[in-house]
Structure 1
């Protein structure tokens, strides 16, 4: 009896996991957009990278922390954290467990934010279409950012800014902190010596905190 209950439970868990994976891994549609809150939680605990089957990436993510002095808003310091982190991982390998964990947390948070932006944006656009309203791009971006800034991935990245401030000997309480996520296009091999490749960087998210 116990064996039957146990096997049934395990089978049910695998079935649930399989269905959830299919639902949340499919291209954006009405179902997974309406379940965005559960999608975020699912990816937080069961995040998967299908890199073996996926084509090579077309861009690299960049995460910038903008520190604005509260007493003098003209005093701004900017730190990009992903590129230095990857260099640390390489230099400390194979004893880079801490750097690997930080890279996973940051990369996963950025993935969830960029995926969330697309889903929330499509949800607002769909709602506007139903109401036959014209979409104002500026207002739409503000609404999307407002939703994203309430999510756990955003708070994870915002909390990491305290470590960035500590590493750079900044008094955290003296600054307003803003996040910028960009994607930097990876040049094709034949274009690797072309000039101005570093200028091809697209802004994905700009926080208002």
Structure 2
């Protein structure tokens, strides 16, 4: 796998794909995860327990309890279970110029393939009580403050890079985002169901300006991030 490059993050709406300018080369500073297979957010099962002993782990019911925190008459206190962690989440991206998937150099020809490839990927983030992050709740609960959260739950970003595929290799453009992950408990007082405690609230949001672009190159018999 060749070096990865940091790009400038360009803020935009979900449907906006803005070409990213590649700046100085730098390796991702955080542990790297495969965005095609990673399911950290939903691996944890949140639950809510009321002061009468009733406990339920239905995602819909936990979200219903959490939504009470939007009411100013309800007191919600968040406790972070452990220190937030950061990862770089990578995805293989189709080449918008050819749309043919991996660039393969697996035949009988000689030499290496050098070309510039580009594409767009829509990054999404959320938590494990109904997908997308509710901005109002995020602010009330004071979660994700250190991540300089961008107030949307999905953004389409574009990037391009020069790829080199040697004889016997195949490769694709890959795009990544530095993400912050946290697990919190939330104590609720004054809600319609009385005192309640939500445990195992998982949140994943992007670090500001932390979109990356690189190349995913493997041997012809190997497997790319997207399983090809």
More relative contact order, 1 or 2 (CA 8 Å, 6+ apart): 2
Identify whether the pair has TM-score above 0.5, normalized to the shorter chain.
Answer: no
TM-score with structure 1 setting the length: 0.25
Structure 1 or 2: more helix by fraction: 1
Instruction: Return the TM-score normalized by structure 2.
Output: 0.24
Structure (1 or 2) with the greater strand fraction: 2
